[in-house]
Structure 1
């Protein structure tokens, strides 16, 4: 039974709010495009959060959601099914509140990710297959009378999409003095579906004409689920782009707020982060490349249709986490990725404004 220590809960909420205040806002960078296009591309840099990724916002929201719903008390152990950035951020907040944290992770999780979770005081509980993470996390939480944070179910409901300094409100506030303050497109990936749900609900609530595009990597079920309308769509395959893509459509995914989905080749995602670093010096993870590759396609469509306006996407996390993988030529070759055609396609686009499909 969770202890309802009202004083402790009030102080825990205060600590979460203090962290948000210290973090201030994340930067909105401009990606250089030819001026004659009349289109501005912005990248909201979520890598500058204290734990280095977009998931810092999600972790804070999930724990705050548990606190205000009476599910987390001063002796509650926190458990999550995650081997990535969400677990890192949740471990950070658990330590802040003096709570134990356990991440249920596959045995193949990289040593770097395990070290980051443990750095913030979390511990890792291993399972043989990624598909076992959900049930094992729920079991561990039940066994210790703890709380399963369950990012894949609660992400879309834990975030206040109306405002409260969420990522959508932040973007529109930062764009207020720009020449196109209401973006034509917002482009995001889906790991839980929480970010796309927040943006999609917010633009409808604020009556903006902005459209939401979700980019999905290879192997992920979200694209197929959205296209077929099946909430039970599965691929059974793990995503090779960390932080986004899932083998099944997760409960937090809200297809009704999405205007378009694009399936992005994994090699294109990796080529895009290298181009980003060359063109801007920003060093980002693979999911940022997925965002950028999709944004370029939408901008090319705008140019073709004679549209002017702005497009916003995200830098989801920093590239230093992937120095030994996505940025390592030997690793890329070992995975069978050929980045050259995608690099050429993006360079051609940035020169001409035209996007060449692979078949052309």
Structure 2
């Protein structure tokens, strides 16, 4: 396992970032954890938070070089992104500026100021897009056919980082499939369901669930398993530019997830389709082949899906109670 004196996480104040800091603290106890966050995100919690926080904004790429030159990370996990598909349809240019230009500026700063640093990119299975209509599960050789502006911007930065590996960037690209867990925002489907159920239980919402397309199949992971994959990518010896699917290999029907969450509650809500939750372009079934990650990184998911659902619903019950 490589030794790390300083580990930098961009987007550390976000949903995945807060879980990742816990994982990194455990797996690399001697490393200094540096959280790169937008100033408006505020300080991170301790003791499981960062040792220090530095300002970072994907929309200000000129500041990346100074930040990397000052922090001199040995390992960097780049989580920061404009990650909402719905937002990307409303403002495609914002996704391109943050996800492509911000990532390229950050990676170029690493090349010029911290060439020794391992750069782990949080890519996305969304970049496969319409290829899921042809076959599933997909491995890393599948064509990139993104079906929304968010996915297109992530595909572009995935390719850009792959090219930069040819110029000396010690890069690893992880294409994570859907993941959920405690702390996720309700713009994502499992969290949306759990929040609505918790609000109905608390009498804060009428007993009606607003949903998007239920007859879709998605490959879900617990966020803790995804964070374990990021840790494995730091620890493993991989060739520069290596790419790995991070997937369960088990597609789950969205409607069945809704039914499983309702069954955990004391409510029997009506279910209404909300057209605004539907995507202009979509695929019915998504599944990934993560065999390469198992072989090269020693990574496989371990958190049971029922435990994930229990955690998400419990988290939202607590958040609603304290709201």
Which category of TM-score, normalised to the shorter sequence, fits these structures?
0.3 to 0.5
Q: Normalising by the residue count of structure 1, what TM-score does the alignment of the two structures yield?
A: 0.30
Higher RCO, Cα 8 Å, sep 6+? 2
